[in-house]
Chains A and B, each alone.
Chain A
């Protein structure tokens, strides 16, 4: 992509003019139909995010039940069977039906807008992917109804989200609970892979004129990296699940330890998927941070090339660290040392990111609107979570911490403290673009602080029972182990979080009807999506935009001081 082919500096192409919206609203059925048959990346993106939000509530209710049960020792709120179903479903839901769809939704909505394209590369595949994901999730939840019905939680899976063999073998998991887990994740996995293919093709083939890979907004860059990771990581899970199906339905012996099969193989296969998966989840959080932090600090991202390199580096290294989930399975000392090292190495590129965000804020004029509040909390919490991750990667210490509540605290710190916070911040940031209305700032701030309090009450104190020897995935514990008080605090914190999440959802709802009209660029931002109306028209841009720098809108706003002069 030679620079000479680009337009002369100082111009930006027709990203500017837009349709006013005055279509007559259809009947309810018409509207529904138009959403079901749509291939518009924006509508699909919205559906993904709404779908994920619904499952956030569902998974959250499961978490609340878990916390009620664990709030006191020897509690009888849930039976052991139901408890096991609940934590399995909670983990599976949050990772596969909340996290992944949410991030795919973000990518879907934003990537074409940011790169100045009319749609995704394969719009029909996009619709297909969404529906696969959706039907996968519905199938998983149908398991609650199958079998013995809702009261005893039916056939819902109960083997933990990593479903270790041979607990999943027919002998130890009769009935269909494990089959539901396998089959529904297979289906939604296909959807996710489809979405990833689409994102990569979109970014590689649909960029507007002048947008070289080094001018790509970091959000789009990270979307590509995430998608590449999806392509590398989901197939191993799919393969392992196919093997599991072969075992369960055709009498195979992959994981049948009585006939020479290996339980360890499952663990390896699962974590070859599972570890990259957590980075798949966190990359979009980084992506949001990369957009929001600069805009609210009023400075460009510090060290763009380093940020790109670090993301690619994290993705690469993360493919080689999976066995840090398996330090206790009896690997050789060399194996343990290798995986400890590779895991620690991930801290280096991640550190680069943290420092670069810090440097972006340094010397800026930081406006703490709700999105930026979320990002600030994200920075602190991700830092803390990463450092507990480093503690876990110290293999000998991991022999103590593995499968304790310390691990649970570590990963909720990332999954909630970093990812959920970042995604919620992202929702606040792009809500005006998507709906044309501002979120209520007051409600937003209340929700944010409530969530911060609830989060820290829950997950700070959750580290302690872990250090005191409390294993995870236990439905109850004896009084007198010294775990009660901590668990009670944690449980109360979960309810504070629930209040915060409800407030957030309420805000989304009322602001849609009553929010202030946003205008096309409420945050005074710099990427192309703010150069079209809010909400954007079906075709995004009237004419294909042409860009000459990483911040096309900056160049337009400051023609005397444009970016391309310095980049």
Chain B
């Protein structure tokens, strides 16, 4: 399970292939760490890395087949094309050959056997991986166009931006996800960390991943789920152990109560915001939208559709459709003044 590739005997082969892949896919070099392009050829976690290894193997085999067959085809086309003087005669008529046909049936069968054994091994290795003692459990709930994250053991609820501790050889740290959906099918996909797994209503799925380097890994929903499927983005932050501990500590607190923004807080409760959103420590306990208790600890809002800035927030609350057309939060028809108050309040929720 611990397929640390650097020890692999064939890292040379890998490197050469990677180099090829890299030149091919310009910025998809095999980088150590998170990238703005979530390339599956830049793995930064165990499952992604072992899939990457497998993919090189498969590329080598299929590439070999392609070179051989395409080469023969090209040869046939060049060598046996119609030439001057051929109009008057037919070539020798050949009907078949059991022996040759048998040979080119058996060779693919053997290739398939090898491919299958390799594939099966990795399926089992990833899917049935034994659970290490120290894991982080997270429950992921997909909603139309945003993600809800629960850390059941830590008592944390947050949205869209998942924080996990980084995994090192000294301190391996796997994250086990339970995946549910509140409405339609979604799919959890952070290419640099692991393959995707669907979130299906009335059905529980599990997957695991780990991150070998700290930083931000981007991904997004990979199963068409309606109008704003394109903007159901996903961010995973791999924190150092210290950062993670600090983050957990902050998240476990109830919301900050700042008397200066009393007006905004009241407005939040008076408008129907509280029917849909939870802010821990206030009467707002809605579950339809994201938990806003620590809204300011997130870098984006509306599942990555906009940066978390006061201006974007104002625009979002004034008219969610203008930021993310089709998002399921209604425009509340508030005055500019009310919006300013609300945003001032939300800006305090660290």
Contact = CB atoms under 8 A, between A and B. Distances in A.
A472 to B, nearest CB: 8
Contact of B222 (A264, A403, A561): A403
Contacts of A469: 37-40, 189, 191-192, 219
Given A399-B194, A475-B230, A340 B93 contact: no
A172 B66 CA distance: 44
Contacts of B152: none
Interface string B44-79: 000110110011001100100110011011001100
Contacts of B260: none
Contacts of A468: 25, 28, 37-40
A300 B94 contact: yes
Interface stretch (A272-280, A384-392, A417-425): A384-392
Interface in B205-229: 205-206, 218-229
Interface stretch (A159-167, A234-242, A429-437): A159-167
B348 interface: no
B325 A391 contact: no
Nearest to A263: B200
B127 A471 contact: no
A400 B95 contact: no
A364 B120 CA distance: 42
Nearest to B62: A387
Given A340-B123, A383-B69, A482-B36, A80 B76 contact: no
B311 to A, nearest CB: 17
Contacts of A367: 81-82
B81 A368 contact: yes
B258 interface: no
A333 B37 contact: no
B13 interface: no
A519 interface: no
Given A304-B96, A396-B123, A482-B37, A467 B201 contact: no
Contact of A471 (B26, B83, B221, B226): B221
Contacts, number: 288
Interface in B10-52: 24-28, 36-41, 47-48, 50-51
B271 interface: no
A567 interface: yes
Contact of A257 (B82, B128, B202): B202
Interface stretch (B163-171, B180-188, B279-287, B290-298): B180-188
Contacts of B82: 365-368
B335 interface: no
A384 B91 CA distance: 29
A172 B328 CA distance: 11
Interface string B90-116: 111111110011001100110010011
Contacts of A391: 55, 58-59, 62
B172 interface: no
Given A167-B225, A330-B197, A300 B95 contact: yes
Interface stretch (A24-32, A33-41, A243-251, A349-357): A349-357
B3 to A, nearest CB: 12
A471 B95 contact: no
B196 A384 contact: no
A328 B187 contact: yes
Contacts of A388: 62
Contact of B230 (A260, A264, A476): A476
Contacts of B47: 396
A400 B62 contact: no
B161 interface: no
B81 A366 contact: yes
Contacts of A376: 73, 77
A396 B122 contact: yes
Nearest to B127: A333
Contacts of A475: 230
Contact of B200 (A330, A358, A399, A566): A330
A476 B51 CA distance: 28
A376 B73 CA distance: 9
Nearest to B37: A482
Contact of A264 (B26, B122, B203, B220): B203
A462 interface: no
A7 interface: no
A81 B196 contact: no
Contacts of A363: 80, 91-92, 94
Contacts of A257: 201-203
Nearest to B100: A359
A358 B76 contact: yes
**Chain A contact patch, size range:** 35 or more
Contacts of B223: 164, 403
B344 interface: no
Contacts of B200: 263-264, 329-330
A160 to B, nearest CB: 5
Contacts of A315: none
B302 interface: no
B96 A403 contact: no
B186 to A, nearest CB: 10
B126 interface: yes
Given A302-B95, A330-B200, A352 B66 contact: no
B148 interface: no
A398 B228 CA distance: 24
A80, A404, A477: most-surrounded residue (chain B CB, <10 A): A80
Contact of B69 (A303, A354, A467): A354
B185 A164 contact: yes
Interface in A462-483: 464, 467-469, 471-478, 480-483
Contacts of A558: 90
Given A166-B183, A329-B200, A380 B70 contact: yes
A361 B123 contact: no
Of A358, A395, A483, most B-chain CB atoms within 10 Å: A395
A54 interface: no
Contact of A566 (B95, B219, B221): B95
B73 A380 contact: yes
Contacts of B104: 351-352, 355
Interface string A534-567: 0000000000000000000000001001010011
Nearest to B96: A303
A507 to B, nearest CB: 22
A379 interface: yes
B198 interface: yes
Contacts of A170: none
A520 interface: no
A164 B224 contact: yes
Contacts of A401: 40
A390 B128 contact: no
B86 interface: yes
Interface in A450-465: 464
Interface in A333-379: 333, 336-337, 340-341, 344-345, 347-348, 351-352, 354-356, 358-359, 361-368, 376, 379
B230 A330 contact: no
A11 interface: no
Contacts of A362: 76, 80
B73 A396 contact: no
A90 interface: no
A148 interface: no
A445 interface: no
A515 interface: no
5 contacts: A306-B101, A337-B116, A348-B105, A400-B191, A471-B220
Lowest 4 CB-CB distances: which A-B pairs, in order?
A: A399-B195, A482-B37, A469-B38, A474-B230
Given A167-B224, A304-B95, A380-B70, 19 more contacts: A167-B185, A300-B93, A344-B119, A352-B101, A354-B69, A359-B97, A364-B80, A366-B77, A391-B55, A391-B62, A396-B51, A398-B195, A400-B40, A400-B55, A404-B222, A469-B39, A469-B219, A473-B224, A474-B220
